[in-house]
Amino acid sequence: MQKFDAIIVGAGFAGLRALYRLREMGKSVRVLEASGGIGGVWYHNGYPGARCDVESYDYSYSFSPELEKEWRWSERYATQPEILRYINHVADRFDLRKDIDLNTRMDRATYDEDTARWTIETGKGETISAQYLIMCVGQLSTTKAPEFPGQDDFAGEIIHSGVWPDREVTFEGKRVGIIGTGSSGMQMTPVVARAADHLTVFQRTANFSVPAANAPVSDEEDRKVKANYAERRQQALNSPTGLGFKPNRQSALDVDDAEREKVYEAAYHRLGFGFALAYHDILLSKPANDTAAEFLRRKIGALIDDPETRDKLVPKDHAFAARRPSVDSGYFQAFNRDNVELADIRAHPIVEFTPEGLRTEDKLHKLDMVIFATGFDAFTGSLLKPEIKGRGGMQLREKWAAGPVTQLGIGVADFPNLLIVVGPGSPSLLSNVMVSIEEQIDWMSDLVAHADAQGIVEIEAERAAEQAWVAHVNERAQETLYMTAASYYNGAEVAGKPRVFMPYSGGIRNYRRILQQCADDGYSGFALRRAPQKQAR
């Protein structure tokens, strides 16, 4: 059996960063990646129009000043192909590929209480032993798609945005349907609209969106950012969400209408996703939120010509950003084209596929291609896909049957030496995930170094600590408007999934302080043992 200090599962941004860091510490590491390439979600989400909602300079690694200097982003918001080029460049630049096994899925991991090591079985039939099992499987990586009656009889093609095929997909001469109007559906709509004969967008919930304000990055801008990169990184680390600009500390309710309008107008044209930070209480107070929502409804409405379509596209039934808003490049304007139609499937739900297309309650939509942009089994989907067995054969699926419990989003009681990157209970999707990834991996690596120095072989979250952390995560969520809407933040995206709030909403800076305090207190909430402990406490 091959033996390693650590097995990392997933070769996306988190997996590569963890590999780099642990190798730097002299650890023997392998990365297991199920798919045929590196990049994680950026490998799979190759749909037309796929683009990052966070500015390129902030959505990039900060661990290497040389890398920062030499990489030249071409646009303020990078496209999926450019991000994929970046991560491949990183893999080559730091010689990471030699430790990555592609096309290798981890099927099962079993903790051995006698040796304090994990036994990992892969889809290739290999068995590997590792002291640490580090899960870098992403939060939006297990796709979900409804199954409609008659789906197999559809004569056209069905594609999911989250597992976009690795071949050219063309829309010319086709009647295309897109189901779903989250970020994926909104990003691809204008692109597909320009190419297809006809496009029908099937909308269940109208979503807020802010324009991407995308632009090419000029040499001057590139030079300016790079001259102050360290400062920008510090700014991101000290911001609530890890974005590289100063959030406004004012309340939306402490200014007069004219002043507020001016601030919103500027934020709308420049900040993209950061519009939600135009005032500090947009996600904390309904009256404050109403001012932002009302502004956006006006803006969205003004982009759409047809009154009936406008009425359906303007979001009404949830607070702004209580569900993940999008950052789009011409989504609403696409509906002004003659070849684009909106199907309101809240009013007239999809009934079935027929060989010719999709039948909603009111009509048959004839289609040659249907794209499911229906999202993911968020946060826990990819963590629960493999069989992970901790103490006494307990499965992670059983442990999390009523919702995920973690100590700081990182460790799980009864699953010693299992470390999760951007797992449930961490800021993850409520932050620039790149900042969260680096912050957590640096912290975990310090924990591993501390364990080595102290002769510790087993690191295990304590039950009381994880219960307290889950309670704290929920308390923080209750202070916000996130719980007022059904969303993938709170498990509403999959029928039957426990309805608990998944990410930590207290912000990047608070989370870092908590991690620091935990380390300063000798990693409080984690049992650190010099010999394996056979029985659970």
Contact positions toward ligand NA7, by CB under 6 A?
Answer: 140, 146, 161, 179-185, 204-205, 324, 345, 373-375, 429, 488, 493
Q: Name the H helices within 480-525.
A: 508-520
Q: What is the side-by-side strand order in the sheet with 198-203?
A: 157-160, 369-372, 175-179, 198-203, 340-344
Minimum Å gap between C-beta 203 and ligand NA7 is: 7
Nearer to ligand NA7 by C-beta: 21 or 51?
51
Helices 80-93 and 13-24 sit at what angle, rounded to 10 degrees? 10
Minimum Å gap between C-beta 345 and ligand NA7 is: 6
Nearer to ligand NA7 by C-beta: 357 or 375?
375
Minimum Å gap between C-beta 301 and ligand NA7 is: 19
Which residues have CB under 8 Å from 483's CB, separation 6+?
Answer: 477, 490, 501
Nearer to ligand NA7 by C-beta: 128 or 345?
345
Q: Is 320 left (phi over 0), alpha (psi -120 to 50) or beta?
A: beta
Minimum Å gap between C-beta 238 and ligand NA7 is: 23
Tell me which residue of 96, 104, 67, 325 sits closest to 211, measured CA to CA: 325
Nearer to ligand NA7 by C-beta: 185 or 390?
185
Minimum Å gap between C-beta 349 and ligand NA7 is: 8
Nearer to ligand NA7 by C-beta: 44 or 117?
44
Tell me which residue of 3, 134, 237 sits closest to 448, measured CA to CA: 134
Nearer to ligand NA7 by C-beta: 349 or 522?
349
Q: Name the H helices within 7-151.
A: 13-24, 41-44, 65-70, 80-93
Q: Is residue 129 within 8 Å of residue 2, measured between CB atoms?
A: yes
Strand segments (E) across 150-243: 157-160, 175-179, 198-203, 209-211
- Phi, psi of 44, rounded to the nearest 5 degrees: -85, -30
Minimum Å gap between C-beta 508 and ligand NA7 is: 16
Tokens found for residue 152 = 């197999």
Nearest to ligand NA7 by Cβ — which residue?
Answer: 182
Minimum Å gap between C-beta 426 and ligand NA7 is: 15
What is the SS3 assignment for 477?
helix
Tell me which residue of 324, 269, 319, 262 sits closest to 294, measured CA to CA: 319
Tokens found for residue 271 = 């900040």
Nearer to ligand NA7 by C-beta: 217 or 429?
429
Minimum Å gap between C-beta 112 and ligand NA7 is: 37
Q: Angle at CA 97, nearest 5°, toward 94 and 100?
A: 130
Rounded CA separation 437/99 (Å): 20
Minimum Å gap between C-beta 372 and ligand NA7 is: 8
Nearer to ligand NA7 by C-beta: 138 or 525?
138
Minimum Å gap between C-beta 418 and ligand NA7 is: 25
Q: Would you give the DSSP letter of residue 152?
A: G
Q: Report the length, in residues, of the chain.
A: 537
Minimum Å gap between C-beta 248 and ligand NA7 is: 23
Nearer to ligand NA7 by C-beta: 28 or 354?
354
Nearer to ligand NA7 by C-beta: 164 or 523?
164
What is the SS3 assignment for 214?
coil
Nearer to ligand NA7 by C-beta: 56 or 181?
181
Q: Is 194 left (phi over 0), alpha (psi -120 to 50) or beta?
A: alpha
